[in-house]
């Protein structure tokens, strides 16, 4: 089994370049007020920048972030499901379409937005693919730059795949809500990945029950190191 690494922003490298991005996805599913678990919530970490809702007649219903009763949330989710990847769960708060906002300054080969979204130059994506990194999907951003000759930054569509192992979670962790799908989980200090749940067809994914965690395989990490691409820190995680 390939070794897995938790990826985070290299803030020291980012500070050297001085770039700044203030942006988010303009369209998203609403949050949900779940009558089953009693929680009003929306997810962070579920984004599909390559899913275009522009032609959807109900597009405006995805413009304003807000909580909705589960029945209304479910109706809106079904409208976008045909446009999304077939295995996408699409929880409350899932974002769609290009990253919209403002950017300034210089950026290294790999950049992050709010420590969650992974951006890279097109040539960097092509070099990683040439090095054998599998399953990398990226789409253009809609960032507005203040300078002339702005860089072309792509956002990687990093989909969930794999779970935290129960052994790293408190024994009283409640089960996942069977209605809205919410995981009531706080990130453990020592995460362990559930080996049986890990995808085998791609080298970059998010932890499905804690999707702000971006995970890569040893193949991806080694490609980044061979190409000497800064912007990422790697922490190896055990699997069980």
- Other C-beta atoms closer than 10 Å to the C-beta of 22 total 11
Residues 6 or more apart whose Cβ sits within 8 Å of residue 106: 17, 18, 19
62 has a pLDDT exceeding 90: yes
Residue 112 lies in a domain: no
Partners of 9 in the β-ladder? 232
25 has a pLDDT exceeding 90: yes
Residue 230 lies in a domain: yes
CA separation for the pair 66, 111 (Å, rounded): 29
Please count the structural domains in the chain: 1
The pLDDT tens digits of the residues spanning 175-234 come to: 999 999 999 999 999 999 999 999 999 999 999 999 999 999 999 999 999 999 999 999
Mean pLDDT, range 21-32, rounded to an integer: 96
Asked if 95 and 46 touch (Cβ cutoff 8 Å), the reply is yes
Strands (E), 67-107: 67-69, 95-104
Residue 221 lies in a domain: yes
Asked if 206 and 158 touch (Cβ cutoff 8 Å), the reply is yes
Residue 90 lies in a domain: no
Asked if 117 and 141 touch (Cβ cutoff 8 Å), the reply is no
pLDDT tier for residue 148 given thresholds of 50, 70 and 90: confident
Domain that holds residue 203: 4-11+160-237
102 has a pLDDT exceeding 70: yes
Residue 216 lies in a domain: yes
Taking alpha carbons only, the member of 204, 170, 176, 173 closest to residue 189 is 170
Residue 205 lies in a domain: yes
Residue 208 lies in a domain: yes
Asked if 186 and 178 touch (Cβ cutoff 8 Å), the reply is no
Q: What is the pLDDT of residue 2?
A: 78
Residue 223 lies in a domain: yes
């Amino acid at each position: 089994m390939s070794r897995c690494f938790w990826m985070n922003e290299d803030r020291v490298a980012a500070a050297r370049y001085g770039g700044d991005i203030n942006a988010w996805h303009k369209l998203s599913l609403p949050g949900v007020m779940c009558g089953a678990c009693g929680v009003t919530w929306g997810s962070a970490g579920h984004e599909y920048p390559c899913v275009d809702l522009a032609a959807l007649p109900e597009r405006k219903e995805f413009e304003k972030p807000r909580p909705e009763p589960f029945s209304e949330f479910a109706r809106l989710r079904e409208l976008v499901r045909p446009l999304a990847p077939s295995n996408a769960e699409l929880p409350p708060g899932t974002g769609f379409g290009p990253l919209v906002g403002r950017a300034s300054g210089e950026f290294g080969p790999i950049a992050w937005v709010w420590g969650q979204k992974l951006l890279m130059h097109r040539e960097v994506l092509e070099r990683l693919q040439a090095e054998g990194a599998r399953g990398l999907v990226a789409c253009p951003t809609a960032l507005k730059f203040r300078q002339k000759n702005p860089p072309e930054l792509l956002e990687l569509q990093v989909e969930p795949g794999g779970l935290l192992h129960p052994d790293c979670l408190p024994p009283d962790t409640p089960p996942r809500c069977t209605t809205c799908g919410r995981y009531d989980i706080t990130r453990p200090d020592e995460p362990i990945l559930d080996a049986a749940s890990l995808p085998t067809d791609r080298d970059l994914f998010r932890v499905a029950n804690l999707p702000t965690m971006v995970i890569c395989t040893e193949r991806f990490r080694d490609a980044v190191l061979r190409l000497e691409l800064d912007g990422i820190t790697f922490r190896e995680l055990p699997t069980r």
